Structure 1
Amino acid sequence: MKKLLTCAFVIAFAVPGGAALAAGPSVPVDDANINLEDTTSLQRGAEYFFQYCIGCHSLEHARYNRIGQDLGLTEEQVAEKFVHTRDAAGDPTGVGQLIEIAMRPDDAEEWFAQPAPDLTLTARHRGPDWIYTVLRNFYLDDSRPLGVNNATFEAMGMPHALWELQGWQKNVGEDGHIELELVEEGKMSTEEYDEVVRDITAFMTYVAEPIRMEREAMGMYVIGFLILFTILAYLLKKEYWRDVH
């Protein structure tokens, strides 16, 4: 019976962790080193995302006004910076709406072979480090339909949307080894571009779980309460059993 309970305990707690590891990225990634408490970084990341990414990728599980509230922006600022679509009547999309794109799925399938995925939960599925690494690892590849490949996500059917900022990289590795070298400079230095990607990664990490910082802060209070309760329970136990011992 004891062995059965032990096996049940191991299965209950070990299998989900193993499944999570199996579902995660299996390629080497760089440390994104993001700071979700840096509101300025999140604001910059949001502006870059809505400038370069929203043409193809939606955030269907997020709302404009919620992002504005969390990032310290007014509804007027949100409408000016982030809203680029219109409703059926031709009016600008309301800030209370979910973040969708204007590109029709049929057009996306014709141009890119399939519709671009929604990115709301990408940071939870892949992790911030994966996003950060992917956005820095595009390189020229004439064998690909769009002329680019990615060292982290091979055969990705996506153009390099940030090429103007980063420039173009080329694979100079040999024997199947990928080694990227900048062959055409962009508008930014490598350090400046890495900071842009870090801001975008921070924003996408926030979007994937807007309540994360609040949850983590609440967790500290809960742990503190449990510690205090444990101490009180121990003292109470000693008081009750004092005469017995």
Structure 2
Amino acid sequence: MKKLILTLVAALGLVTGAQAAEGGIAWDKAPVNVSDTASLQNGAKLFVNYCLNCHSAAFMRFNRLKDIGLTEQQIKDNLLFTTDKVGETMHAAINPKEAKEWFGANPPDLTVIARSRAGHGGTGADYLYTFLRTFYRDDTKATGWNNLAFPSVGMPHALWQLQGERRALFEEQDVHGKKTEVFKGWEQISPGSMSAQQYDQAVGDLVNYLQWMGEPAQNTRIRVGVWVLLFLAGFTFIAWRLNAAYWKDIK
């Protein structure tokens, strides 16, 4: 239960963090490629294991994951933790009434979270990618965690077992006559189950899935759009030649 509560707090912070002030760090570019089915499948697994405990994706059905190359049997065997019907929407495992009693509000839906934020010259996916990779230990905070993308975030690091525990190193500098702490780098306190490169890849896959989930039909839309443009180009050429043939004998 304690782990579930911490995960819920983390999930709430994921969306709250997107409302942080514009004065934070620059966002890293998320490696989004919604045509990469292997990345999307791994991202779906991470989403179900680390996000769906507390968040819903009420506009996404489990059987829609067949669009990213999973079979119905694979979905049933590996991803149905909150329901036993592959046609159901992705509802959170936690009871909404209990969540509201504990935290005063239900966790927000994550179906379109990657499309909900843009700034610093980046996208919502860039924000999520940066946010999930810049947690660090901070004993002055109630949760024991802080975040560079959203300073003083009111949530712990939900993926800390994968990334390990880190401490952020700051240096006090004089900026325009004002003493300011400037981020200088990381100090690893304890290792996670993944290397830094593996963790960045995992977060990239998760963000890639969140981006795809916001509009599952985007690949089809692009593919159909290309064929429509090709048809219009061909039709325009035929119409132009017919027009020339019709008027050629008229002076």
TM class by shorter-chain length?
0.7 to 0.9
Q: TM-score, normalised by structure 1?
A: 0.77
**Which of residues 144, 160, 165 is equivalent to 1:163?**
160
Amino acid at match of 1:172: L
Tell me if structure 2 keeps the 8 A contact 1:137–1:152.
yes
| 1:229 corresponds to 2:235 | yes
Amino acid at match of 2:215: E
Q: Pairwise mapping of residues 168-179 of structure 1 onto structure 2 (< 5 A)?
A: 168-174=165-171, 175-179=180-184
**Which of residues 181, 198, 212 is equivalent to 2:186?**
181
1:94 paired residue number: 85
Unaligned runs of 5+ in 2: 1-18, 118-123, 172-179
2:79 paired residue number: 82
Structure 1 CA distance for aligned equivalents of residues 188 and 213 of structure 2:
34
**Which of residues 182, 195, 207 is equivalent to 1:201?**
207
Q: How far 1:224 moved relative to its partner? A: 1.1
Alignment coverage as a number of residue pairs:
215
1:216 paired residue number: 222
| 1:107 corresponds to 2:107 | no
Structure 2 CA distance for aligned equivalents of residues 237 and 209 of structure 1:
41
Amino acid at match of 1:102: A
Amino acid at match of 1:78: I
SS in structure 1 at match of 2:170: coil
Tell me if structure 1 keeps the 8 A contact 2:136–2:145.
yes
Q: How far 1:77 moved relative to its partner? A: 2.1
1:62 paired residue number: 60
1:121 paired residue number: 112
Q: How far 1:53 moved relative to its partner? A: 1.5
**Two-structure CA RMSD over aligned residues (Å):** 2.4
Structure 2 CA distance for aligned equivalents of residues 50 and 179 of structure 1:
34
Unaligned runs of 5+ in 1: 1-22, 86-91
Percent of paired sites with the same residue? 40
Query: As a proportion of its length, which structure holds more strand?
Result: 2
Q: Pairwise mapping of residues 29-68 of structure 1 onto structure 2 (< 5 A)?
A: 29-67=27-65
Amino acid at match of 2:56: S
Q: Structure 1 pair 179/119, CA: closer, same or farther in 2 (3 Å)?
A: farther
SS in structure 2 at match of 1:177: strand
